Structure 1
Amino acid sequence: MLRYKAIEIFTSEEARFRKKPVVEAVLQYVHDLKIAARCIVTKGISGCYENGEWATGRLEILSFNLPVRIYIVIPDAETESVLNGLDEMVTDGIVALHDLNVLSHRTCTSFFPRQLMVRDVMTSGPKSVSADTLLSDAARLLLSSVFSGLPVLDKKQRPVGIITQGDLIKKGGLPLRLGLLAESDQGRQEAILDQLPCLKADKIMTAPVVMINEDRRLTEAVDLMLAKNIKRLPVIDGSGQLTGMLSRIDIFRTIMREAPDWNSFKARKIEVKNLKHVGDILRRDVHSVLPETPLSEVIRLIDDNDIQRVVVVNAKGKLLGLISDRDLLRYFKSEQEGIWHLFSRAALPFKQDPCRTSLQQCLSETKAGEIMTTALVTASEKMLIEEAIALMIDKELKRLPVIDTNGRFKGMISRDSLLRTGFA
């Protein structure tokens, strides 16, 4: 038998708390506590009050201020925290408290509440360009944007296309990804952007653009993103004008804000169904090397996989560090002119590399253990996916190494895998 409490509030339709109906205020309050609570609101068909008023739905002249009953069921341990907030909210009504013997409490996880609309989650006022914007200017905007996609608008502010990092590389001749370009000094950034072809946005954009109305449910937006395998969606209003952008990061922040602590639910002996763990979704085909591996081999592996990272482990498989192309640029900062060629995806007319020979020798002699990042944020296989999302958002990570209880590397998780598994 589980020890619970039942809180009953007898109030009315006209009761207000800070200009909001008491019913709405109480529901929002209990929702925001993120505890194992259930609320039911019922409206009476008739009733009377201490002041002598009488209300009934059967007579139109008396069908005002009908009685309302709010019934809240909570674990006994949560009682005091809930009552503390309710006391000031119920400005007109009666609050009652009962003991409740509960035989069982079962619930199912939800990635995020189904009532959420796209407009509740999107980022408003995103950067955009017109069809006549030069490629180099669009690249500069993307370089400084929080999004990896830039909507292209017509004269009526309606999206007609979108420019992504992939478009810049494949159609615009950008020699490397934007994240890597951002690691370089301002002079090199400008040199690369100035040498891009003199093309306009409409020549490299992806069109038609996949977008969604701000009045659609968030569940529909996620369905669309997964079906089309895209990372972001331009959001439009009823007239088709751009009002925002919806990205995976917006969705993950919503999950962080809305998700309760499922582990605390289990600790209270509440049966939670459909819980998903990191171990269920991790990607195991990740390249790993030993600390003594030459950097020339590390670079080949980085260039050969879409994860753009190589894991460093010892002979027993214990995770020691991680190497990305950014680590290489930082390590070889004094010889960046030479290392740059190894990651360029296009042959731009850079000045003659004065240290190519010495750099190649350095790459062969330098070992993975000397350059790897060791201050790693990791996840365990038993971690809930909601916890992994919170960790990745907090640390601004796109991928997260996963280890077992002995510190052995098991695989990698990404934002895409978290979204697909969580929403399934």
Structure 2
Amino acid sequence: MLNYKAIEIFTNEDARYQGKPVADAVIDSLRNLKIAARCIVTRGIAGCYENGEVATGRVEVLSFNLPIRISIVLPAAETERVLAELDPLVGDGIIALHDLTVVSHKAASTFFPRQLTVRDVMTVNPARVTAESLASEAARLLLSSIFTGLPVVDARDRPVGVVTQGDLIAKGGLPLRLGLLAESEQDEKEAVMATLARKRVREIMTAPAMTIPENRLLTDAVDAMMTKQLKRLPVVDKEGRLVGILSRLDIFRTVMREAPDWDAFRAQKIEVNNLRTVKDILRRDTRTVSPDTTIDQVIQTVDGNDMQCVAVVDDRGTLIGTIADSDLLHAFKPDPEGVRALFARLSRPSGKDLAYRLAGTTARAVMRTDVSAVRETMAIGEAIRLMTEQRLKRLPVVDETGRFQGMISRDSLLRTGFSQPGPRT
């Protein structure tokens, strides 16, 4: 048996808190607490009040101000906290409390509330370009942004396409990813921009743009992003004008904001169904290198890995560091010729052999050792929280002994974490 309490509020339709119906204010307050509480609001068909007023649905003239009953069931340990939140909300009504013996409490986990719309989550007024903008303008905007794609709009501000980092690389002449370009010297940047300025956005953009209305449910947007393998969606109003952009980062921030602490629920002996862990979405095909692997071999491994990152493990498979392409750049930054050569190798892996410059350096010298790694048993929601707060695109995963198991990425979180799981037996 579980020790629970039941809170009941007896109020009426006219009762307000800061202009909002009391029932709505109570629901919002409980949601924000993120505790294991359930709330039911019912409206009576008739009733009377202390002031002698009578309400009944049988007589039209007396059908106003019908009684409202708000019932809340919650673990007893949360009672004082909830009552302190509710008391200021109820200016007209009665708050009652009584013991409740609960046989079991089961909850189904979700990543975000299903009532959320795209408008609730999107980034408003995003940067944009026109089809006649120079490709270099798009690149400069993206360099100063956390996103890797921009909507392209017409004269009426309606999306006609999207220009992405991939478009700039494949069709615009960008020789390396924007993250690496941001780390380069100013003369390197300007040389790249001069190349990009030779083309207009219309020559390289992906068209037409797939958009989503701002009033659509967030779940519909996630389904579209997974089905079409999109990292972002331009958001439009009812006239088709651009009003926002929805990215994976926007979705993960929503998960972090809305999801309760499922581990705390389980600690209260609440059975949480469909709770997924990192192990469920782990990519085990991530390549590894040893600390003695030469940098030319590391570069080849990074080039052949869509995560742009490799794990460094010892002879027992224990994770001791990671190397991303940005770590390689930092290692060779003191040598301008080395940086240019590294750019060439990272952007054109089939280019001339640079082993004579790179074979003398090993992974041990450039690897990052201050690595955020997580256990396989971590809930996906917690992994999202960590990646969002630290702006990580990938996260190494280890077992209980510290041995490397694989990595999770933003893509794997979206694709696997948000799919609807089947019932567990």
Q: Which residue in 2 is equivalent to 1:123? A: 123
Give the C-alpha shift of residue 347 in structure 1: 11
Give the C-alpha shift of residue 300 in structure 1: 1.1
Q: Which residue in 2 is equivalent to 1:351? A: none
Letter in 1 for 2:35: I
Is the 1:173–1:197 Cα contact (8 Å) retained in structure 2?
no
- In 2: Cα distance, 1:273 partner to 1:11 partner: 34
- In 1: Cα distance, 2:241 partner to 2:306 partner: 35
Give the C-alpha shift of residue 306 in structure 1: 1.1
Q: Which residue in 2 is equivalent to 1:413? A: 408
- In 2: Cα distance, 1:377 partner to 1:147 partner: 22
Shift in alpha-carbon separation, 1:42–1:164, aligned structure 2, 3 A: same
SS at match of 2:299: helix
Give the C-alpha shift of residue 199 in structure 1: 1.6
Q: Which residue in 2 is equivalent to 1:287? A: 287
Give the C-alpha shift of residue 362 in structure 1: 4.2
Identity over aligned residues, as a percent?
59
Give the C-alpha shift of residue 340 in structure 1: 2.3
Give the C-alpha shift of residue 250 in structure 1: 0.4
Picking from 330, 340, 345, the partner of 2:343 is 340
Q: Which residue in 2 is equivalent to 1:389? A: 384
Is the 2:231–2:248 Cα contact (8 Å) retained in structure 1?
yes
Gaps of 5+ in 2: 420-425
* TM-score (norm. length: structure 2): 0.95
SS at match of 1:126: coil
SS at match of 1:234: strand
Q: Which residue in 2 is equivalent to 1:37? A: 37
Q: Which residue in 2 is equivalent to 1:423? A: 418
- In 1: Cα distance, 2:254 partner to 2:119 partner: 12
Give the C-alpha shift of residue 196 in structure 1: 2.5
**Quick check: 6-15 or 361-370, which moved more?**
361-370
Give the C-alpha shift of residue 20 in structure 1: 1.3
* TM-score (norm. length: structure 1): 0.96
SS at match of 1:316: coil
Please provide the CA RMSD for this pair. 1.6
Give the C-alpha shift of residue 308 in structure 1: 1.0
Is the 2:281–2:413 Cα contact (8 Å) retained in structure 1?
yes
- In 2: Cα distance, 1:145 partner to 1:267 partner: 40
Q: Which residue in 2 is equivalent to 1:80? A: 80
- In 2: Cα distance, 1:411 partner to 1:345 partner: 26
Shift in alpha-carbon separation, 1:406–1:46, aligned structure 2, 3 A: same
Q: Which residue in 2 is equivalent to 1:372? A: 367
Is the 1:174–1:346 Cα contact (8 Å) retained in structure 2?
no
Q: Which residue in 1 is equivalent to 2:422? A: none
SS at match of 2:172: coil
Is the 1:46–1:66 Cα contact (8 Å) retained in structure 2?
yes
Q: Which residue in 1 is equivalent to 2:235? A: 235
SS at match of 1:182: helix
Gaps of 5+ in 1: 349-355
Q: Which residue in 1 is equivalent to 2:314? A: 314
- In 2: Cα distance, 1:196 partner to 1:417 partner: 32
Give the C-alpha shift of residue 339 in structure 1: 2.3
CA deviations on 1:135-180 (whole Å, 9 max, x unpaired) are 1111111111222111111111100000011111111111111111
SS at match of 2:136: helix
Shift in alpha-carbon separation, 1:362–1:171, aligned structure 2, 3 A: closer
Number of aligned positions between the proteins: 416
Is the 1:48–1:55 Cα contact (8 Å) retained in structure 2?
yes
Could you list the runs of 4 or more consecutive aligned residues of structure 1 that deviate by over 6 angstroms after TM superposition?
A: none
